[in-house]
Structure 1
Amino acid sequence: MAKVTLKQIAERAGVSINTVSLALRDMPNVNPDTRARICGIAAELGYYAHKSHRTPSKKLGLISTGAHLKDSYFYVAFQKLFLGMAYEHGYQMMVFDHEYWDRDPQALRRWLTESEISGVLILGDMEETLAANIVSCGLPVVAVGTRYHALRVCTYIEDNTEAAYQAVQHLYTHGCRKMGFIGDPMYSTAFGERYDGFRSALRRFGLPCDPQHLLLTPSADDADIPQTIGRALDQVDELPDAFFCANDYLGVGAAKALFLRGVSVPGEVSLVGVDNNPLGKMALPSLTSIDVHCRQQAELSIRKLISFVCGEEYDPLRFLVPTELVQGDSVKQA
């Protein structure tokens, strides 16, 4: 059989030889549809038959929503961790918007085979039907930071129930007896679990839950968090001793909203956030926060995915990563 050249593939695909070269080397600056078409033509012409000496594929896919891929606050940091850790383990990682996977599963399977992707990470919340479409492609899948109810998929997420308990316990030991919550429980799996965990922790400590102190409107992608929280605070007759905020971004926003209303943090109202993000450390006062150990989550999920790729039997367990309270200056002394 005559050797198939890049020129033949380029002429068949209607693109330049350089584009073919980039696509077959899995370089990032090629349109995914163009890459898939080129790989399909290469397979059809028998290009890969001449590549039998190649080492086994060491490529992984990272899939997330467009909003998460642009979220500089939290998810971009996770992406960098995944890319770096995959590289440390000898793997390349391709990043995709979830919308690319909303297509026929057979076409996806064919494209994955041609692209030599051997395993997939799903980052953050995603519609379960779309996640099921990804899982149906037959590759090992590990999800990070979410929960699926009908879909059996291996998942890593921080222990958000424990995070809420740690926050309430810390506030309780520092004299707080009236506590509120800031964040939209419907925004994400994590926010919902933190809210439920907060309500549960209040019951365990025998504390009241005043509906006025549950500011459930602000979400993490709100364009002006302090203003949104401020409007909610204006509807509260009497402020609580403390707020547990669904993440540090909301915690910093709450601190500003309270400051603009002449309320001292932590003198009058204490604040605890979640994530232990650098943003909270730079705030004045620095934010007491629950560390969700992003690096550990990334390392554990990468290792688990690679173990599945290397032949370990797939097990759709849900792993909870322990959390840890990190003290700042936003909680008053007992």
Structure 2
Amino acid sequence: MSNRGTHTATIRDVAAEANVSISTVSLVLNGKGNVSEETRARVLQVATQLGYVPRQAARNLAARRSGNVGFVLRDDHFTRSEPFYTRIFLGTEFEARHQNLYVLLTTIPRHYHPGEHTPRFLRERNVDGILVAGKVDPAFLEEARGTGVPIVLIDFEWDDLPAFVINNQAGAREAVEHLIERGHRRIALLGADLDHPSLRDRLDGYRLALSAAGLPVDEHLLITDDADPTYSTGYRLAGRLLTLDPPPTAVFCVNDALALGVLDQARQRGIPVPERLAVLGFDDVERAAEAAPPLTTVRVFKEHLGELAMRHLHTLIEAPPEETSRFERGRHVVRVNTELVVRGST
């Protein structure tokens, strides 16, 4: 082993000393590639003896960075059967790999108490930025913002934090216009948790579509609840929907979970879909295509949403402090377009 004195070791030095290529050293240090255990052990030994620090790690050390990013969502969002936020998380993970970042996933309760529920990485200041997916208690956002690390929201809007959301209003409007084009005039809306900005925007899109077609918004056709927009909520609200007199010929549900509940309630009551009731959802979860009949819905590009949010968070982490000031109100939200997917339920 040569003595390099005060010379700062480079990846080229490690490769030469271990008698391997630079690409092999890179694969070993990044834990990738088909490298034999013998070669892997030799490269790691040489890197340690030379005191080699990979460039990214050196930058992180100089900037006092951890190389970690926190991903936070509510525990009841994470445990639901429909993997909406799981898909978003996968998107952030794919992008994080490109940026040499590690994603630390954690969940918080619906009712958050700072200190009692503070995520470990936040207590230990072990992240360079935070992604928050879905609706969370503002108490957490206040606490997280107090640490000074960049925060990016996904599928939720709060104060002036940067947010990446679905173009919910446009997607809902296109969905209801599809029902109108199919000849429906008595179109109900089935919704829950409409305090959530995304779901409220879908209600607005429903109203806009009716208004543009010269159709009145009949408040009796708005079947809503404060509960979470789950399958069981949809099944329960469908009981109210299907007893309306005169009945609607179509229903737009603010998410697929609600729509799947409507389909099952209609089937139990012997109401054929779409012959007597057209049903349309939003999100295009995996179960939508497998429903009976297959659910017409609005596709949300979930992985892409996660990728965009992670890319922006990385930009905030790398930007000088003077460039990471808050967005101006009204200019801090990026809306990602959707796609109508027509299936058998309409």
TM-score range, shorter chain: 0.7 to 0.9
Instruction: Tell me the percent identity.
Output: 25
Q: 1:121 aligns with which of 115, 128, 131?
A: 131
* Aligned residues of 1:178 and 1:242 also touching (Cα < 8 A): yes
Superposed CA deviations along residues 21-79 of structure 1, whole A, max 9, x for unmatched, are: xxxxxxxxxxxxxxxxxxxxxxxxxxxxx999853132100111221222231223322
1:323 aligned onto 2:338: yes
Q: Provide the residue aligned with 2:149 in structure 1.
A: 139
Q: Is residue 163 of structure 1 aligned with residue 178 of structure 2? A: no
Deviates more, 1:220-229 or 1:70-79: 220-229
Paired position in structure 2 for 1:203: 211
Q: In the aligned structure 2, how far is the partner of 1:179 from the partner of 1:168? A: 8
Query: 2-side partners of 1:295 and 1:111: how far apart?
Result: 24
Cα separation, 2, equivalents of 1:274 and 1:228: 18
Partners of 1:283 and 1:257 in 2: CA distance? 13
Matched to 1:143, the amino acid is L
* Structure 1 residue 233, shift from structure 2 partner: 2.6
1:187 is displaced (CA, Å) by 5.8
- 1:131 is aligned with what amino acid? L
Give distance in 1, aligned partners of 2:208 and 2:193: 14
TM-score (norm 2): 0.72
Letter in 2 for 1:329: G
Shift of 1:225: 4.2
Q: 2:250 aligns with which of 234, 242, 248?
A: 242
- Mapped partners of 1:98, 1:296: distance in 2: 24
Instruction: Tell me how many residue pairs correspond in the alignment.
Output: 277
Which residue does the alignment assign to 1:229? 237
Deviates more, 1:154-163 or 1:191-200: 191-200
Q: Distance in 2 between matches of 1:224 and 1:160?
A: 23
Q: Deviations over 1:234-278 (max 9, x none)?
A: 541122121111111111211111122221111111111101111
What CA distance in whole angstroms lies between the structure 2 residues aligned with 1:59 and 1:80? Answer: 16
Q: Which of 82, 103, 108 is 2:114 aligned to?
A: 103
TM-score with structure 1 setting the length: 0.75
Q: How does 1:70-89 map to 2 (within 5 A)?
A: 70-73=79-82, 74-89=84-99
CA distance in 2, matches of 1:246, 1:228: 15
Amino acid at match of 2:319: G
Cα RMSD after superposing both structures: 2.8
Q: Tell me the secondary structure at the aligned position of residue 177 of structure 1.
A: coil
Deviation of residue 85 (structure 1)?
3.1
Q: In the alignment, what sits opposite 1:60?
A: 69
2:19 alignment partner in structure 1: none
2:106 counterpart SS class: strand
Partner of 1:5: none
Compared CA separation, residues 238 and 141, structure 1 to 2 (3 A): same
Uncovered stretches (5+) of structure 1, i.e. residues with no partner: 1-49
Find out whether 1:288 has 2:303 as its counterpart. Answer: no
Q: Do the aligned residues in 2 keep the contact of 1:213 with 1:239 (CA within 8 Å)? A: no
Distance 1:116 1:230, change over 3 A: closer
Structure 2: gaps spanning 5 or more residues = 1-50, 61-65
The residue type equivalent to 1:64 in the other structure is L
Deviation, 1:153, is 0.5
Give the distance between the partners of 1:84 and 1:224, measured in 2 at CA.
33
* Counterpart residue identity of residue 94, structure 1: L
Secondary structure of 2:280's aligned partner: strand
Aligned CA distance change for structure 1 residues 222 and 290 (closer, same or farther; 3 Å): closer
Return the alpha-carbon distance in structure 1 between the equivalents of residues 138 and 197 of structure 2. Answer: 12
Aligned CA distance change for structure 1 residues 71 and 189 (closer, same or farther; 3 Å) = farther
Deviates more, 1:286-295 or 1:225-234: 225-234
- Larger Rg, first or second structure (1 or 2): 2
Distance apart, 1:89 and its partner CA: 3.0
Tell whether the 8 Å contact from 2:87 to 2:303 is kept in structure 1 after alignment: no
Deviates more, 1:311-320 or 1:214-223: 214-223
Partner SS state of residue 282, structure 1: coil
Hey, what's the Cα distance between the residues in 2 that align with 1:110 and 1:276? Answer: 34
Contact 1:142–1:153 under 8 Å retained in 2: yes
